[in-house]
Structures are given as structure tokens and as C-alpha cells.
Amino acid sequence: MKKFTAVQDVANLEDLVNEALHLKQNPYEYKHLGENKTLGLLFLNPSLRTRMSTQIAAVNLGMNVMVMNMDKEGWALETQDGAVMNGSTVEHIKEAAAVMGRYCDIIGIRSFPKLQNREEDYSEDLLRKFIAYCKVPVVSLESATRHPLQSFADLLTITENTPAGKRPKVVLTWAPHVKALPQCVANSFAEWMGKAEVDFVITHPEGYELADEFTGNARITTNQQEALHDADFIYVKNWSSYTDYGKVLTEGEGWMLTNEKLQSTNNGKVMHCLPVRRNVELSDEVLDGPNSLVLEQANNRTYAAQAVLKRLLENLR
């Protein structure tokens, strides 16, 4: 593996899942692999889970870790080619990425979409330029359109909670929120489920269709009740509109997942990437109940990151 920005960077998904599950049982087996290697984690946006789990993963592999909150501690970045930098930006991504590539053997970067211009966000301009200029392997810590480490941890969680040989029904359901959120988690989850051995259904209100490039052959319905029937896993997530880009089209009355809605599922396990708005996206009763997997998902973020870093370290040699 040379970079990790999407499921397409994974040559054999089953192998990578098995590697992560093995590392979960044996977290220190490769503690010398990352000796004298440095991981740089760059955040242009806030994070709890991604920051902490990726640090633990790197330390388990013996790496040094540097964390930089670029939005607060770094110079304001310019990304436009040929820009006359007489405004508020101080450093061009050409130099910034190249310099960090000299300090680090592997770099993780988080950069959310601005939700103003769909073409700009979906071009993944910043991530692409960072990869081009830093010249070391890059791990996406959530980009403008995807959150692959989260999706990998989600697949681990589904795998661990599925009896051998069963093909589970997995439902991604839109949920209400108080602000406009990116489509990254939903896009990415859809993309990973498209490669997994699951029956995948997406449900959302009218106007919240995701881009076809991510949903692939998923079954899509605006009838949440119908989608939830017999579901083994229910992944709850809000996203803003892709078609009316970045807009909140509805308050989503009736879309919050409750215990009552779980009745029609196959004792469905409930997933959310966190952070979650309690009693807006998911009710207290569901989050605190026996069907919630949200903490297992967060725990698996460490082993997803560790499997990815291990593959990248092995490729450095």
C-alpha cells in the first residue's frame, strides 16, 4: 500500500480486515516495525477519535508521532496554483507539504469540505496537492468526500458482530441534525459496503441522494420503515444535500432512530461514527441500550489505523 485515501487503495479487503483483527489481539507484535520512523498528523479541523486512535496505533508500532493543528498553529495555507499571495494566506501548500514530507515518513491529514462549491470539494484539491508535494505516503484522516479510516473500523465492527457465513443486511439511514454536515462518512461507508459481503440499503428523505459514484449498486429508498425491516445493522448518520449542495432541506421530523423503530429489525445493532447529537440523531434509549455498537466502532479505529500504518511502513522498506 502506497497511500490510504479510499477503499480503492486496498488491494485485498479481506486480508486487511484479518490483519486488523489480528492486531487487535496482538497490538505489540510489530512494535519494532516503526522504530525511527515518524508519523505526522495534520488537522485542519477538530478531532477526538481520529487523533487519539491514530496516535495509539502508531505508538503500538513503535513510531514517533507529531500532531499539528494546522488551523490554529500553522500558517494560513494557499492552495491555488499561480496565486499572488498578497492576501490572508501566508504559505503555499507546495512548500508546506514538501517541508513536512522532509520531517515525516508518513503523513495523515484531515481537511473537511467547505460545502460552498461542490465541484471544488469533490475535486479533492487539497488532498491531491498534498499527496503530490509531500512525496511520502499519505493517510486520509477524513477528506472533502471520504472518511476511510472510519469506514474500515465500521467494517471491522460489522465483521466481528456477524456470525460466520451470514450475509448481514446493513442499512445506512439519514438522521436529523442542527447544522449542515459533509457527505464524507455516508459516501465512504457506502463505498466500503459496496466491496463487503453484505446486503446494503440506503434510506434518506427526498433530496438527500448521495453521488452515484459512492452508492454503486446499493438499494435506495425514501421509506425508512421499509428499509429497517429485518436489518442486522443500522448505521445512523446525517449529511447535507449533494444535489442542492451543502443545504439542509428538512428538519427531518420522524427520522430519528428510536427503540420503537428497532422493533421491526433483526435485533439490529446500531452504529454511528460519533460525535453524535443525542436526542436529535439518536435517542438516549438507543445509545445507552444493548444494541448500540458506537463504542466498539470507536475502539476499532485504533486497529484500522494500525493495519493501515503497518502496510505503509512495510512498503517503506
Q: Which position among 28, 35, 48, 314 is part of the footprint of ligand CP (CB under 6 A)? A: 48
- Residue of closest CB approach to ligand CP: 50
Phi and psi torsions of 8, nearest 5°: -65, -15
Outline where the chain has alpha helix (H).
Answer: 13-25, 49-60, 70-73, 93-103, 118-122, 125-134, 148-160, 184-193, 212-215, 224-228, 259-262, 284-287, 294-316
Count of residues that bind ligand CP according to CB under 6 A: 9
Residues 125-144 contacting ligand CP, CB under 6 A: 142
> Angle formed by the axes of helices 294-316 and 148-160, to 10°?
120
Smallest distance, Å, CB 131 to ligand CP? 20
Smallest distance, Å, CB 51 to ligand CP? 6
Q: Which position among 3, 37, 49, 146 is part of the footprint of ligand CP (CB under 6 A)? A: 49
143 annotated among ligand-binding-site residues: no
150 annotated among ligand-binding-site residues: yes
Tell me if 115 contacts ligand CP by CB under 6 A.
no
Smallest distance, Å, CB 219 to ligand CP? 25
Tell me if 70 contacts ligand CP by CB under 6 A.
no
177 annotated among ligand-binding-site residues: yes
Q: How many CB atoms lie within 10 A of CB 284?
A: 10
Q: For Cα atoms 80, 82, 85, give the angle at the middle one, nearest 5 degrees.
A: 75
Q: Which set of grid coordinates corresponds to residue 105?
A: 515518513
Smaller CB separation from ligand CP, 5 or 150: 150
Q: Which set of grid coordinates corresponds to residue 240?
A: 447535507
Smallest distance, Å, CB 48 to ligand CP? 4
Name 10's Cβ contacts closer than 8 Å, sequence gap at least 6: 1, 4, 16
Using DSSP's 3-state secondary structure scheme, residue 188 falls into helix
Task: Determine the Cα–Cα distance for residues 227 and 247; give it in Å rounded to an integer.
Answer: 24
282 annotated among ligand-binding-site residues: no
88 annotated among ligand-binding-site residues: no
147 annotated among ligand-binding-site residues: yes
Smallest distance, Å, CB 254 to ligand CP? 25
Per-residue x/- track, 248-277, ligand CP (CB under 6 A): -------------------------xxx--
Smaller CB separation from ligand CP, 78 or 239: 239
Task: Determine the Cα–Cα distance for residues 198 and 213; give it in Å rounded to an integer.
Answer: 18
Tell me if 21 contacts ligand CP by CB under 6 A.
no
Smaller CB separation from ligand CP, 54 or 173: 54
Smaller CB separation from ligand CP, 40 or 101: 40
Task: Determine the Cα–Cα distance for residues 19 and 156; give it in Å rounded to an integer.
Answer: 10
Place of cell 454511528: 272
Q: Which residues bind ligand CP (CB under 6 A)?
A: 47-50, 142, 150, 273-275
